[in-house]
A and B are shown apart, each in its own frame.
Chain A
């Protein structure tokens, strides 16, 4: 008798599992459809485009094999985009980490009434469109702005900001300004989660001030710092609005980025096939770079026992 009951129960539970499986798949229908239409299909298409010379408009195109990729290596715009990625990455990551930690440390020591409000206020620049900041920067650094008139009259300095080497640093500054407060929120949340016992133990061992920061706080927040560094590094590959509106990638490709060059070749010069090949190389560079950074950071994490 019990045997029969077991079989019945098993049947019911199997049926339940099946229903649950069906329900789960139904819940995932929008995601799956989206992935097929906007990920799988375009991904295959991108690989195909990259071996053609298609011009985005005409129905005709030729298969050119790997010549797009070969051309990439000698294209000075691509070389500039490749190296600029790292020229952007290093200062953006370093400055974002310094400002992120700095803001978080200052905020964490505030009286608890102020803490939340101040952290949110530092977060505001993150919400700002790159277009709005670009508008402001363009006018503030334009020839007849109060700033430049002041510099000319008082110090006899005449800089054509957006056409000089300074342009790159203006762009870096805009991005660091935008992102620091956002990263500071993560760092703050990590600092807050360090238990008071750790600091009490440190105080007994006479570990204070800068020592306390490097010996206690920093090791305790390395997992969060890993995420922040990876996020900031990924961000340096996605710069578009600022150079697009302010410098056009100039002077002499000094501020150009992958996104700008891919946009220009695909939709301004109508070399869609070439642009697709460029995007693939860019993706490989991002993947390898992020992988290297994670491996290095994981070594640090291990060293601190995470």
Chain B
């Protein structure tokens, strides 16, 4: 099967795939391009003749009257909310995932039952009461981070992963007298590198793209995430398409770059996602 010649069927297959891929990714080209054209050309052209940074300058200098840097602030807010949420999901996922799959203890079936229940539970029921509980923390990072800080999906990723790791590894460490804390930090955590990266990135992305909760709990212009700011400004200034395209680029490109940097870990992780 070591034929150096490329078969014609392969060429056809590659061309069809590439064509679909180009169509699928065309919206990104369009979005990025519209953010760099002069304002009178926005949505009027697909191949730009001139490049302008006016849309980005607008985001940098001309926010609200009271808060000139509101767009930059929103971008930073998005990071300050998404990163701790993702970190907490990893830590709690590791703790609960490890104890549910590798430790035998009284009541473990209660924890597991509760996890299964939450996995299939429609969160929308909890919206109003959660809002009531967290309202004292409105317009604070804690109020944005805590209610979405634990990902049941993340816990199951770790449970599925630890199921594939033989007990013997952990038993051996236990016989050598290692404490549970030591086993988790020195053995379990390093072995979950790719799972932890996937969990971190996925939760980061989900949190970054969250709209409804942030809209409710952090309406203050200084606390809005970029996602919320685009949706509020978009309704008020829909006559400024250039800056809106530029803000959308700032919203999507960091996530894509982050995922592409770590994409090699996804092949391994995909096997744990659907179990």
Contacts of B98 in A (CB 8 A): 27
The segment from B8-16, B50-58, B64-72 found at the interface with A is: B8-16
Contacts of A121 in B (CB 8 A): 21, 24-25
**Is the pair B149, A34 in contact by a Cβ cutoff of 8 Å?**
yes
Is A60 an interface residue, CB under 8 A from the partner? no
Given contacts A23-B180, A118-B21, A145-B43, whether A135 and B124 have CB atoms under 8 Å apart is no
Is A101 an interface residue, CB under 8 A from the partner? no
The segment from B161-169, B189-197, B240-248 found at the interface with A is: B240-248
Contacts of A139 in B (CB 8 A): 34, 42-43, 241, 244-245
Within the assembled complex, what's the spacing in Å between the Cα atoms of A34 and B147? 8
Contacts of B95 in A (CB 8 A): 27-28, 30-31
- Residues 192-250 of A contacting B (Cβ, < 8 Å): 224, 227, 237-238, 240-241, 244-245
Query: Please, which residue of chain B has its CB at the minimum distance from the CB of A114?
Result: B14
**Is the pair B150, A24 in contact by a Cβ cutoff of 8 Å?**
no
Is A290 an interface residue, CB under 8 A from the partner? yes
Query: Please, which residue of chain A has its CB at the minimum distance from the CB of B44?
Result: A146
Is A129 an interface residue, CB under 8 A from the partner? yes
Q: Which of B103, B132, B205 contacts A45 (CB 8 A)?
A: B132
Within the assembled complex, what's the spacing in Å between the Cα atoms of A120 and B211? 25
Is A259 an interface residue, CB under 8 A from the partner? yes
Is B172 an interface residue, CB under 8 A from the partner? no
The segment from A1-9, A86-94, A181-189 found at the interface with B is: A181-189
Given contacts A43-B125, A133-B27, A237-B122, whether A38 and B133 have CB atoms under 8 Å apart is yes
**Is the pair B130, A38 in contact by a Cβ cutoff of 8 Å?**
yes
Within the assembled complex, what's the spacing in Å between the Cα atoms of A23 and B105? 9
Contacts of B42 in A (CB 8 A): 139
Query: Please, which residue of chain B has its CB at the minimum distance from the CB of A140?
Result: B43
Q: Mark A116-155, 1 if CB is under 8 A from B, else 0.
A: 1010111111011111111110111010111000000000
Q: How many residues belonging to B are interface residues under a CB distance threshold of 8 Å?
A: 85
Query: Please, which residue of chain A has its CB at the minimum distance from the CB of B134?
Result: A38
Q: Which of B103, B108, B230, B274 contacts A23 (CB 8 A)?
A: B103
Within the assembled complex, what's the spacing in Å between the Cα atoms of A10 and B184? 26
Q: Mark B94-107, 1 if CB is under 8 A from A, else 0.
A: 01101100011111
Query: Please, which residue of chain B has its CB at the minimum distance from the CB of A129?
Result: B209
**Nearest Cβ on chain B to A266's Cβ, whole angstroms:** 5
Q: Which of A186, A238, A286 contacts B274 (CB 8 A)?
A: A186
Is B61 an interface residue, CB under 8 A from the partner? no
Is B185 an interface residue, CB under 8 A from the partner? no
Is B178 an interface residue, CB under 8 A from the partner? no
**Is the pair A42, B130 in contact by a Cβ cutoff of 8 Å?**
yes
**Is the pair A106, B16 in contact by a Cβ cutoff of 8 Å?**
yes
The segment from A64-72, A164-172, A277-285, A295-303 found at the interface with B is: A277-285
Contacts of A177 in B (CB 8 A): 24, 27
Contacts of A276 in B (CB 8 A): 125, 128-129
Q: How many residues belonging to A are interface residues under a CB distance threshold of 8 Å?
A: 86
**Is the pair A136, B245 in contact by a Cβ cutoff of 8 Å?**
yes
- Residues 229-245 of B contacting A (Cβ, < 8 Å): 230-231, 234-235, 238, 241, 244-245
Q: Which of A27, A39, A122, A123 contacts B126 (CB 8 A)?
A: A39
**Nearest Cβ on chain A to B80's Cβ, whole angstroms:** 17
Q: Which of A42, A110, A129 contacts B133 (CB 8 A)?
A: A42
Within the assembled complex, what's the spacing in Å between the Cα atoms of A128 and B250? 11
Given contacts A136-B245, A146-B45, A227-B274, whether A122 and B267 have CB atoms under 8 Å apart is no
Is B252 an interface residue, CB under 8 A from the partner? yes
Is A59 an interface residue, CB under 8 A from the partner? no
Contacts of B244 in A (CB 8 A): 135, 139
Given contacts A46-B125, A49-B129, whether A290 and B270 have CB atoms under 8 Å apart is no
Is B31 an interface residue, CB under 8 A from the partner? yes
Given contacts A30-B95, A241-B211, whether A136 and B30 have CB atoms under 8 Å apart is yes
**Is the pair B251, A129 in contact by a Cβ cutoff of 8 Å?**
yes
Is A262 an interface residue, CB under 8 A from the partner? yes
Given contacts A139-B43, A258-B124, whether A240 and B212 have CB atoms under 8 Å apart is yes
User: Which 5 A-B pairs have CB atoms at the shortest separation, nearest pair first?
Assistant: A42-B129, A45-B129, A24-B105, A21-B105, A132-B248
6 A-B pairs besides A34-B92, A106-B13 with CB distance below 8 A are: A43-B125, A43-B126, A106-B16, A111-B14, A132-B31, A240-B212
* Pairs A–B under 8 Å by Cβ, sample size 28: A20-B103, A20-B104, A20-B105, A21-B106, A24-B108, A28-B96, A38-B133, A42-B126, A43-B129, A46-B128, A109-B13, A111-B14, A114-B14, A118-B17, A122-B24, A125-B27, A131-B209, A131-B211, A131-B248, A135-B244, A135-B245, A136-B245, A138-B234, A180-B24, A181-B24, A189-B270, A244-B231, A276-B125
